[in-house]
Amino acid sequence: MSWLDSVRKKIPFIAKRESPDNLWHKCPSCQQMIFAKEYEENLSVCPKCGHHGRIGPDARFDQLFDGGVYTLLPAPQVREDPLKFRDSKRYTDRMKEARAKTGEQDALINARGTIEGFKAVVGVQDFAFMGGSMGLAVGAAFVAGVQAAIADQCPYVIFTAAGGARMQEGILSLMQMPRTTVAIAQLREAGLPYIVVMTDPTTGGVTASYAMLGDIQIAEPGALIGFAGQRVIEQTIREKLPEGFQRAEYLLEHGMLDMVVKRHDLRAELARLIDYLCPGKKAA
């Protein structure tokens, strides 16, 4: 024991100083410790290495819409736990935990507002809600977002983040793949753009459906994008995959993306694209 520790123990009125647990953020990429406030002000992007952290719908909408002003679309009502599924926990209990943790009804939230004066309906998947998994509620919310965009005669912009289909809903979750594809076709029949922004991670059935059907395909830097996991692919083809495989930059280089856009530039880039795809449709 050091002399200072010995003295501190003998003087009871010197209290141990503690800092709040949420004062610092540790970057998962470079391990840099960053003030949480500085990290949030930098749009949850590491100022040292540029790692784009995962963010939820509230933060995304605040960053994207003019003045942080937007209107949430009501969550569609769907049948919950249609298969009465149970593994180590009941599906209903997992849903309750996810709702308590995120404050959201399910993994996809829609909102309408303006982006640099252009009307848009924006959907955001939250990976914090059961891995952003796609089930009946996500499929219904996607369709509702498309219908709202058609009603408003504006683009539908979707921010994807998912581990794939929700296994607790079995084949019903997989049926959301063709369901969302039909909704996208309706949007195109109305002559309205469908813009996809893939965030980390976008995988599984979401990648195999609406995440890869955009008129414009965008990704955030470093986002993991793919269908099956790297280890599964390597075991199947019995070959070592290239460095950076399934990352946004690799997919851009190989023609699967139109652009990789940093979070700080995303709002302006979306406005530019909407202006190009919907000329003369700026909100009054």
> Which amino acids are annotated as binding site for Zn(2+), given as ranges?
27, 30, 46, 49
Specify binding-site residues: 27, 30, 46, 49
Q: What is the 3-state secondary structure (H, E, C) of the chain?
A: CCHHHHHHHHCCCCCCCCCCCCCEEECCCCCCEEEHHHHHHCCCECCCCCCECCCCHHHHHHHHCHHHCEEECCCCCCCCCCCCCECCCEHHHHHHHHHHHHCCCCCEEEEEEEECCEEEEEEEECCCCHHHCECHHHHHHHHHHHHHHHHHCCCEEEEEEECCECHHHHHHHHCHHHHHHHHHHHHHHCCCCEEEEEEEEECHHHHCCHHHCCCEEEECCCCEECCCCHHHHHHHHCCCCCCCCCEHHHHHHCCCCCEECCHHHHHHHHHHHHHHHCCCCECC
Backbone region of residue 267 per phi and psi (left: phi > 0; alpha: psi in -120 to 50; beta: other values): alpha
Contact status, residue 138 vs residue 108, Cβ threshold 8 Å: yes
